[in-house]
Amino acid sequence: MAERHMPPPLRFLLAARRSELHGLEALARGCDLVVRIGALAHALQKERGYSNLYLCSGDARLLPALADLSRQSEAVETDVRHRLDGLAADPAPGNVRARLLNAIAYSLFRLEELAGLRRQVRDRRVPAEDADARFTRAVGSLLAIVFEAADTATDPGVTRNLVALLNFMQGKELSGQERACGVMGFTAGCFTDAQKARMLGLAASQDRSFGIFAQYAEAGAQQRWEQIQQQGQPVRRLRGMAQRTSDGQRVDASLAELWFELYTARIDAMRGLESLLADALAQRCAQRIADTRQELDDRRLLLSRYADHASGRTPSMVYSVQGRVMDEPPPDGVGEELERSILDMMREQALRMQHADDALAAARGALDETKRIDRAKLLLIGRYGLTEQAAHERLQRAAMDGGLSLADVARLIVEQDEN
């Protein structure tokens, strides 16, 4: 029986399943965007690191490698822009989508600035601190797109994968910022009090992001992360050395290159795990779509048979002890067997959706918390003209002074702005 000839309850039951499928397909497109943006963020992180090393050291031998990294970033950016162009042409409505498009507009604005920044870096016409901040703003704007794209996730399993990936990406970006700060401090021979505070803050923020990642990551990813952590002892020793430096206790500037090499090896290992998480996310999306399509086909066939039986077109040739064809409709309409089957199917679908909603709410908690912190920082940046790092430090001070978590302080700031 064609679906349009089915009774209305059956048509709407199938429509609910189709809606779930469409949501998963949209989620898969969002996950694809997350993967592509992750590749661009990594390329820019690497370019930022070499730019800082070149600006601080003035070593012209780094220029060819830096030029090659810039070309790699531009190639990945071209791919991401092509993907974003398709989103601009999609008229799908919704406040979540509006926020996503706004985040994309801001990110493209930041990416447009990079061509001029690269020329200034090449000619050493920009301080390392400024170049670092401008690259960081570009990477931060990309991560904002990622978090807005993740806001459309409606499948609990996929959302758990997303939460793990996004928090790992955030921790990796904070690691890149620490690498850049360390290059500047070691090149100078000692760290200022502000640089020491920033290094401590970045390390603490990394611990938080990686902690959430570990909470939601699958066992294989957690084991890979433990291996990376075990190999990080040299970086931790240099961290401690940075905190002990002063005008009267300086270190050899050549440590900057050692710090950079050790930290780059660490971040490259993180990129391998990041790719593993992205692959797992893509596979989860693809499997959920395949399963849902199969379930929809099975459900459509089953309901079609029910409808045919109810109409008397194809009665089953199985007889009951009362001498009546089973599933043959009685004179007064839909039989009890069919009614029970449809109601059971509706109950099963409603129960499954409720379980999914409960699991989704639990998984989204960490995602929403991270987004709230980022929004609070943006509010502080806009209100007081702070840098991203200064805004984060202000949140941290408020949390320590008030005995609150960073997420609680961020929630208060966002709520005050909305009132």
Per-domain residue ranges of the chain: 17-285
Mean pLDDT on 83-110: 76
Asked if pLDDT for residue 3 goes beyond 70, the answer is no
CB 409 within 8 A of CB 395: yes
Q: Which has more confidence, 58 or 391? A: 58
pLDDT > 70 fraction of the chain, expressed in percent and rounded = 78
Asked if pLDDT for residue 319 goes beyond 70, the answer is no
Q: What are phi and psi of 325, to 5 degrees?
A: -65, 125
Kindly state the greatest CA–CA separation across the chain: 103
What's the pLDDT score for residue 84?
86
Q: Can you say how many angstroms the Cα of residue 12 is from the centroid of all Cα atoms in its chain?
A: 33
CB 75 within 8 A of CB 36: no
Please give the mean pLDDT across all residues of the chain: 81
CB 2 within 8 A of CB 300: no
pLDDT tens for 185-209 read: 999 999 999 899 889 888 988 998 8
Q: Can you say how many angstroms the Cα of residue 143 is from the centroid of all Cα atoms in its chain?
A: 7
The structure's pTM equals 0.75
Asked if pLDDT for residue 376 goes beyond 80, the answer is yes
What's the pLDDT score for residue 25?
75
DSSP for residue 325 = B
Least confident of 29-43, 145-159, 209-223: 145-159
Closest CA to 103 of 332, 343, 374, 383: 374
pLDDT band at 351 (very low <50, low <70, confident <90, very high): low
Asked if pLDDT for residue 29 goes beyond 90, the answer is no
What's the pLDDT score for residue 348?
66
Mean pLDDT on 275-289: 86
Q: Which has more confidence, 178 or 32? A: 178
d(C-alpha 9, C-alpha 50), whole Å: 62
Asked if pLDDT for residue 320 goes beyond 50, the answer is no
DSSP for residue 317 = S
